[in-house]
Structure 1
Amino acid sequence: MKKITTLLLFSLGTYAFQAQSFIQAYQNRANLVTQSNITTLLQEFGNLGVKTTGSTANTNALNWLKAKYQSYGYTASQIVEDPFTFGSSTSSKNLIITKTGTVYPNTYVIICGHYDTITGPGVSDNGSGTSIILEAARILKDIPTEYSIKFIHFSGEEQGLQGSAHYVNSVVFQNSVRQLNIKLVFNLDQVGGKIGNSNVAINCESDQSGQTGNNAASLSVTQQLAACTTLYSPLQTVMSNAYSSDYMPFEAKGDIITGFYETVRSYNEHTVNDTFANVDPTYVFNVGKAAVGALQHFATASTSLLATDEKAVNHLESVKVYPNPTKDFLNIELPKDVKNFSLEISDMNGRLILNKENETKVNVSGLTNGTYIATIKTKDQKAVRKVIIGK
């Protein structure tokens, strides 16, 4: 995916007239995005290899996605494969998961991103968006929303938006007749950042070209997206233009689009460097919180504090592991109520390298340079962090 680089920076005050009121239930659910889940999903996505559309790895990624939704409790009737073919013989599938709304069941908020990659494993482009969509689906599964939500994972994006174009032209429309009433399309593409960059802001994309009739509406929902981002995440916002990703076939048919894209561009996309080692999981985690907050606003989620929201939060998620990158020692800062814990450090192949009990300052000077996974465990909770060793 390529993006234009001319951006317009707006303070929140610029679009404060459209800012949403803070809703505690929305914040509670945004807080259910966990760093451990995001880190694990990014790593698993990377381990699936180069997921070129039509390849075995691409099919494996589809099956991995399906298994995730099944583990979240989505039923077979909610999980639909959408096959398509392009060129002479390239075939792949989109994956669509539908959560039915309580008031407007036939009007859909679409949250989408592509899972195909080229050249590298594509952990940022677009394992990052893929991971966030999975977390949003997990968290909102049993939360009533007035509008229906479709969680869509497109393939064929890297070959020219093939999967999303097929979906729009063959499912949303059939014989040029609209079949689905879409409230808006919220696209997530390349929101992984890069370790070492200042990943404190996110681009909020609106449609200011193409079909002019939907430009004003796109700007409005993107202003709402930016406002939700500042309400439910620590990220700053940058207003940007939509360009060359899976929301564009929808835009061409007059639908309202918005999206997220990393602000400080990594430039690892479409290269062998788009790996787990180079992505910033904390940035993806923060974008995930913003996305879950905004998706609730767009779909009009329940504002009540439901039992689902009151599940015990994993307090171990607040653990701090620093410095990162590190050379000789790794400090573990735990919540005050945690007394007994273990630290496991594994390499990228899952091989256990180091195992310590109740040590808050760990000597890692014997580890070679590279990326590792640190897992902090108590009796019933765990937290996962990416750790970089650099001498």
Structure 2
Amino acid sequence: MKKVLTILSLGILGVFHGQTFIQAYQDRANQVTQTNITSLLQQFSNLGIKTTGSVANDNTLAWLKNQYQAYGYTAGQMTEDTFTIGSSTSKNLIVTKTGTVYPDIYVIICGHYDTINSPGVSDNGSGTSVLLEAARILKDVPTEYSIKFIHFSGEEQGLVGSNHYVNNVVFSNNVRQLNLKVVFNIDQVGGKISNPSNTVTCESDQSGQTGNNAASLAMTQQLAACTGLYSPLSVNMSNAFSSDYIPFENKGDIITGFYETPVSGNQHTPNDTLANVDPVYVFKVGKAAVGALQHFAVATTVLAIDEAQKNSDQIKIYPNPAKNILHIETPASLKNFTVEISDMSGKLVLKSENQNEINISQISSGNYICTISFNGEKTSKKIIIE
């Protein structure tokens, strides 16, 4: 994504005015971990240059699906929106979490996963990582509005994937099919390791269709307030420009978004690598995003732990790193469970039933996802096999 930022001054006290701090939102924002963010950035980097329609692009889509499955999302919650670009095809991934009060009104949180010229760890592995952390944390949190986590492809070729989704899914033959509350786009929030920052830009629509400008500014002021309430970041305000929220804006929807400040300048160059990204900055943006997403979707303020969660918390997978034998420790009440080990592309390499000691000596060294399924629930953990 390429942007020209026009920064507008906005006093923090004005941003916070009228918006109440909610402890449950903070507690969930605090569940964003630096370890997870850094690991996701590393995995995204390892997938290579993800040009739309390439094998690396397809592998990244498979990786994304595997992440959602590891978090406990079902196949029924995941859909793919296929589009053509030149002689190639690519897919947008849409993961839907149904709301409790307004199931047919959607909050979209989105970012693109395609890259050019580099692994694109900032543009847009950073936004991809934030979306994944938000999806993990909010998986079992009731929200009044439905949430769609959308990973677009084709952004770098001119918003091809998001245009296709808007014109063929949100609308069909120019008739609206989906009612949207807000589109929250996260693109290039990787920061610059050589120039650490504590500021993020919140973007609103102040051009294009003028009928939704006021609503976009109001929603972006709420985003800025959430950023101050639930993260250590300060805020700049700017106009939206040339990312996946624009096709929505063109159809009259309300948009907002995050963008790094200052701009690294590494986007679309071979320098957009993990070595040049500031993972701590991405972690801070993640906290702000989780706080804001709860606000937009109206998450429950009740922090509850059910029996399934208690069982999940008691499951231990060790040692990690592991060699030859992997131990699965489960509570005494858990008699039936399934263990699945998948590689980072989502390919299943081992499956066992009700075994607490698993022979992994035939599995190649590397990073894997170990998923324990029990009583209709799942818990997953990244493991290293030596």
CA-atom RMSD in angstroms: 1.7
CA distance in 2, matches of 1:305, 1:143: 9
Alignment check: 8 A CA contact 2:143 2:297 kept: yes
Is 2:10 aligned against 1:10?
A: yes
Equivalent residue runs for 1:1-391 within 5 Å:
1-17=1-17, 19-87=18-86, 89-307=87-305
CA distance in 1, matches of 2:97, 2:268: 32
Which amino acid is 1:153 matched to? H
Map Cα deviations across residues 303-347 of structure 1 (whole Å, 9 max, x no partner): 1122279997xxxxxxxxxxxxxxxxxxxxxxxxxxxxxxxxxxx
Deviation for aligned residue 1:6: 1.8
The SS at the match of 1:301 is coil
The SS at the match of 1:187 is strand
Identity of aligned residues (%): 72
CA distance in 2, matches of 1:298, 1:241: 20
Deviation for aligned residue 1:2: 1.1
Equivalent in the alignment of 1:345: none
CA distance in 1, matches of 2:15, 2:28: 25
Which amino acid is 1:6 matched to? T
Which amino acid is 1:115 matched to? Y
Which amino acid is 2:261 matched to? T
What TM-score comes out, normalization by structure 2 length?
0.79
Equivalent in the alignment of 1:333: none
Alignment check: 8 A CA contact 2:102 2:145 kept: yes
Map Cα deviations across residues 37-86 of structure 1 (whole Å, 9 max, x no partner): 00000000000000000000000000000000000110011011110013
Deviation for aligned residue 1:20: 1.7
**Which consecutive unaligned segments of at least 5 residues does structure 2 have?**
314-380
Which amino acid is 2:14 matched to? T
The SS at the match of 1:225 is helix
Map Cα deviations across residues 3-62 of structure 1 (whole Å, 9 max, x no partner): 122211212123343x42110100010000000000000000000000000000000000
CA distance in 2, matches of 1:129, 1:12: 24
Which amino acid is 1:4 matched to? V
What TM-score comes out, normalization by structure 1 length?
0.78
The SS at the match of 1:307 is coil
Following TM superposition, the consecutive aligned residue runs of length 4 or more in structure 1 with deviations greater than 6 angstroms are: 308-312
CA distance in 2, matches of 1:196, 1:229: 23
Map Cα deviations across residues 194-223 of structure 1 (whole Å, 9 max, x no partner): 102131000000000001000000000000
Deviation for aligned residue 1:193: 0.3
Deviation for aligned residue 1:268: 0.5
The SS at the match of 2:53 is coil
Alignment check: 8 A CA contact 2:5 2:239 kept: no
CA distance in 2, matches of 1:5, 1:192: 16
Q: How many residues align?
A: 313
Alignment check: 8 A CA contact 2:28 2:291 kept: yes
Alignment check: 8 A CA contact 2:205 2:213 kept: yes
CA distance in 2, matches of 1:6, 1:111: 23
Alignment check: 8 A CA contact 2:114 2:155 kept: yes
